[in-house]
Amino acid sequence: MHTPKTRREFLGDAAGITAAAMVGTHAIGAVHAGGGDTIQVALVGCGGRGSGAAADVLSVGRGPIRLVAMTDVFEDRLTASHTALAEEIQSGLDVAPERRFVGFDGYRHAMDCLRPGDVVILATPPAFRWVHFAYAIEKGLNVFMEKPISVDGPSSRRMLELAERAGQKNLKVAVGLMSRHSRPLQELARRVQAGELGEIISQHGYRMQGPIVNFRSLPKPEGISELDYQIRRFHSFLWASGGAFNDFFIHIIDQLCWMKGAWPEKAQALGGRHYRSRADGVPYIDQNFDSYAVEYTYPDGTKMMFDGRNIDGCQDRFMSYMHGTKASAIVSANGDCGTPSRIHTRRDFSRDSLVWQSEVPPGQENPYRNEWHDFINAIRDNVAYNEARRGIEASLVCNMGRMAAHTGREITFKEMLECKHEFAPGVAQLTKDSEAPVMPDATGRYPVPQPGIVTDREY
């Protein structure tokens, strides 16, 4: 089984914290990114995801590409990213010290180094996505944005408006849901659409594992502000990331929706916080549940069952499959898009019932690289390319399942989109000295979901 290096692995877990980045007038003479001209790239958010995406775009061989600007809220993240890229890539890194920006306004400085038609990578925690996307559209830039795209109803509505605006300006927008660029999954999707499974009658997705990256957090230590602590540990805070649910589960949920060719219209769910302190009694203060179980319902009544868990010592399961009236399929055999994908005539996936197994075309094994090849080809050929809407809708489906678990209520897609509770309404105005969007109580703990008690919002 081929398992490509993930963006999170690029700098290791410690650097997988993408920081909210930063503004200015530091243009360096970029040119329009058409034909054989150089495409210049700015990286906004220098954690593992952003750094991995930067390495991936510089691997695309169609015409010259240069990374010319980088920005992050934290100087140590920016420095670590630049150092790792310098060691990893052979050419295309051209980020002079004066084009490395630190601070919440640095996103403007970095994008101001580009000209219309160039590319910006948006890889900060998703709370900042709409702010940075709006400025990129204003500057006429093509955008690669990491998932998730939005964390609540208000930010989702803003992003949908921005996606429409980007399309009207013929800007190319890519979203880091790399499963959609896995060649085996693309072939499986074609076979499903051709009717080889018949009518899909059930889907099952799993991401069950131990705690990873910043799923759990201990009380804030001395010497760091609340805001800095929460951004560094963004997986622990719903306002910053949508929590573990959005960040960890979106790939499996999105790929099953893709195979079905529809978005669920409602969700009911449960979840719980089972182990909320270390053995020595020091509490975990993050806002995540340790386990989630969601029943999604499509408009035709078909169910998608998703189970997510982050608990040590339990059996791991990280895969997806589905059953149809004619056949069944393994979508991802292991991981977010692990090969091989398979079609079986029996629902137990026995070896003797195998009728098709995916093969990976030579040179297209890595879906992280594939999405960049597809994106750059669209820019070079000036063809319509806008993945923003489906990325936003995938994020909304995650928001819907998470809110159903956190409130104990059935939540519809429409209700999630129209939800008025905004986790961080002042995110566009945050500075280094700002109060964090969520503050702890006297014991150092943050508000957590209370299903059945708080039912009109998540905390």
Residues 133 and 249 occupy one common structural domain: no
Give domain status of residue 456, yes or no. no
Question: Residue 99 is part of a domain; what is its CATH number?
Answer: 3.40.50.720
CATH number at residue 212: 3.30.360.10
Between the alpha carbon of residue 30 and those of residues 67, 112, 239, 376, the distances in Å are 11, 10, 35, 16
Looking at the structure, tell me whether residues 353 and 257 fall in a common domain.
yes
- 239 and 350 housed in the same domain: yes
Q: Tell whether 235 and 120 lie within a shared domain.
A: no
- Please tell me whether residues 280 and 408 are part of one structural domain: yes
- The reply to whether 268 falls in a domain is yes
Q: Answer yes or no: is 232 within a domain.
A: yes
Q: Checking phi first, is residue 168 left (phi over 0); if not, alpha (psi -120 to 50) or beta? A: alpha
Q: Does residue 254 sit in the same domain as residue 400?
A: yes
Which pLDDT tens digits describe the chain residue by residue (459 residues)?
A: 334 444 444 434 333 333 333 333 344 443 444 456 999 999 999 999 999 999 999 999 899 999 999 999 999 999 999 999 999 888 899 999 999 999 999 999 999 999 999 999 999 999 999 999 999 999 999 999 999 999 999 999 999 999 999 999 999 999 999 999 999 999 999 999 999 999 999 999 999 999 999 999 999 999 999 999 999 999 999 999 999 999 999 999 999 999 999 999 999 999 999 988 998 999 999 999 999 999 999 999 999 999 999 999 999 999 999 999 999 999 999 999 999 999 999 999 999 999 999 999 999 999 999 999 999 999 999 999 999 999 999 999 999 999 999 999 999 999 999 999 999 999 999 999 999 999 999 888 999 999 999 999 999
Residues 109 and 144 in one domain: yes
Of 235, 96, 160, 183, the residue nearest 370 (C-alpha): 183
**Do residue 234 and residue 248 come from a single domain?**
yes
> Does 434 fall in a domain?
no
End-to-end CA distance of the chain: 41
Indicate whether 215 and 293 sit together in one domain: yes
Q: Which residues contact 412 (CB under 8 A, 6 or more apart)?
A: 265, 266, 400
449 domain residue, yes or no: no
Please report whether residue 96 resides in a domain.
yes
CA distance 49 to 89: 16
pTM of the predicted structure, to 2 decimals: 0.92
Q: List the domain range (segments joined by +) for residue 108.
A: 7-179+369-387
Residue 329, in any domain of the structure: yes
CA atoms within 13 A on the CB side of 347: 10
Does residue 222 sit in the same domain as residue 333?
A: yes
Query: Do 155 and 41 share a structural domain?
Result: yes
Residues 191 and 72 in one domain: no
Domain count, the chain: 2
Report yes or no on 275 lying in a domain: yes
